[in-house]
Chains A and B, each alone.
Chain A
Amino acid sequence: MPFPILRTPLVVLSEIISLLEPNEIVTASFCSNNVNRLLKSHYQRRKPVEWKLFLVDSGGYSITIKTSKSRIEVISAKNVSELYTYPKPMLLKTNGYITKCYGSYVYLYFEDRVMGKKMVVDYATNLFNLDVYGLKIDCHSIWAIDWINERQEKMLAGVEFTWNFGDRVADKEFDHVLR
């Protein structure tokens, strides 16, 4: 049975939003521009200060949010080549990316991998009115440290570096990470 959520009073709407998990918030934000604006304004008024936003790049690239209860993956960026066409997905073509929801969170498929990574960071930080708290990256995403430190006032609280077998990271790059 449908529930006309947008016809509920603002106080009820805020209560419902506060009961949703971060991944459900992100998924709901893709329903319409109106809902996206509504969620953003909710978090402008009530910043979820107890949530910590992490950017994780190990194999896949995703944004996770650590709440008081758990750590939840909320959105992921992937290359369009990784998009399986069978079974036929319900696609929503938007500007430069394709949205698909598998299981409990949304995947965005991009032609340009770096643009995709930047876009999901922008999307999640704008939606939740949060800065990136920490990074978990491999040698291919060292650029993200400077990029994130430039786009937010707060410094990153931590960077976890994952070493993949076969990676040959120059000393210079390691120095950069350690600095």
Chain B
Amino acid sequence: MSSTEQGTSSAAPAEPTTAPESAAAPEVPESFYYVHGKDKVVHKVSAGALQHSALIHGMISNLGYTEEQAKANPFPFENIDGDILQMVVDWCNQHKGKPTPPEDTNLPKQKEKLFDLVLAVNYLEIKELLTYCCKQVAMMVKGKSPEEIREIWMIPTDAEDEAAEKEAKKRAGKEAAGETAAAAGDAK
């Protein structure tokens, strides 16, 4: 694993003493956890920011890590690209301890990353961010015709669906025939 350690985003410094919510409870030092994605780059995130993710929050509650243990065992998310995880971490930091507004202007602007972001957010169970992402997806087709929607959402035509179905059936038939032949060979 890379020893690179990225602090929390510049928009929301991770220092517990400067965080506004820590002023309400100054006695309790904020704990930090570590996550990494496919690129193995470790991100340091406060427990407050990670509250947004039901998955990570559940993991933290179940494991009861000390800070040292958490540092030594970053949560691995091998199915999430590093840059996507960075976006998610940034968003969690920006919304740490704050009620999430109905419209979010801090969403990542890169539309090409939206699909991967949606999958990651769904996996990490970050409900508010998922809703914002889904709103963006829904906005894509506002005022569009069926042909335009088909293009934007990459929906195959009926003819393409039929061709794909035929192809799948053909492949399944071939595989079944292969298995039968293999079973007959074993019997001999």
A contact set with B: CB distance below 8 Å: 1-9, 11-12, 15-16, 19-20, 24, 27-28, 30-35, 90, 92, 99, 101, 103-104, 106
Contact A34 B161 (CB under 8 A): yes
| Chain B: interface residue total (CB-CB under 8 A) | 32
Is B144 engaged at the interface, CB distance under 8 Å to the other chain? Answer: yes
Interchain CB contact under 8 A, B151 and A2: yes
- Find out whether the CB atom of B146 lies under 8 angstroms from the CB atom of A30: yes
- Whether the pair A3, B131 counts as a contact (CB closer than 8 A) is no
Q: How far is the CA of A6 from the CA of B112 in the complex (A)?
A: 16
Contact B138 A2 (CB under 8 A): no
Q: From residue B43, how far is it (CB to closest CB) to chain A in Å?
A: 24
Judged by DSSP, the binding face of A is mixed
28 residue pairs bridging A and B, Cβ less than 8 Å apart:
A1-B114, A2-B152, A3-B137, A3-B152, A3-B154, A4-B153, A6-B154, A8-B119, A9-B122, A12-B118, A12-B122, A12-B134, A15-B131, A16-B134, A19-B135, A24-B138, A28-B141, A31-B146, A31-B149, A31-B150, A32-B155, A32-B156, A32-B157, A34-B155, A34-B161, A92-B146, A104-B143, A106-B146
Q: Is the CB of A33 within 8 A of B115?
A: no
Q: Is the CB of A28 within 8 A of B138?
A: no
Say yes or no: is B140 at the interface (Cβ < 8 Å to chain A): yes
Q: Which B residues touch A2, using CB under 8 A?
A: 151-154
A3-B153 in contact (CB<8A): yes
Residues in B neighbouring A7, C-beta threshold 8 A: 115
The CA of A5 and the CA of B119, in the complex, are separated in Å by 11
Q: How far is the CA of A9 from the CA of B79 in the complex (A)?
A: 15
- Other-chain residue from A12, A27, A92, A104 in contact with B149 (beta carbon distance below 8 A): A27
* Bound-complex Cα distance A104 to B149 (A): 12
Known contacts A16-B137, A24-B142, A103-B143; is A11 also within 8 Å of B122 by CB? yes
B53 to chain A, nearest CB (A): 15
**Which chain B residues border A90 with CB–CB below 8 Å?**
145, 147
Q: What is the minimal beta-carbon distance from A137 to any residue of chain B, in angstroms?
A: 28
- Indicate whether B111 reaches chain A with its CB closer than 8 angstroms: yes
Asked if B68 is at the interface of the complex by the 8 Å CB criterion, the answer is no
Chain B contacts of A30 at CB under 8 A?
A: 146
Q: Are A19 and B122 in contact (CB under 8 A)?
A: no
Chain A: CB-nearest residue to B152: A2
Cβ distance B148 to chain A, nearest Cβ, rounded Å: 8
Residue of B nearest to A103 (CB): B143
**Chain A residues with CB under 8 A of B161:** 32-34
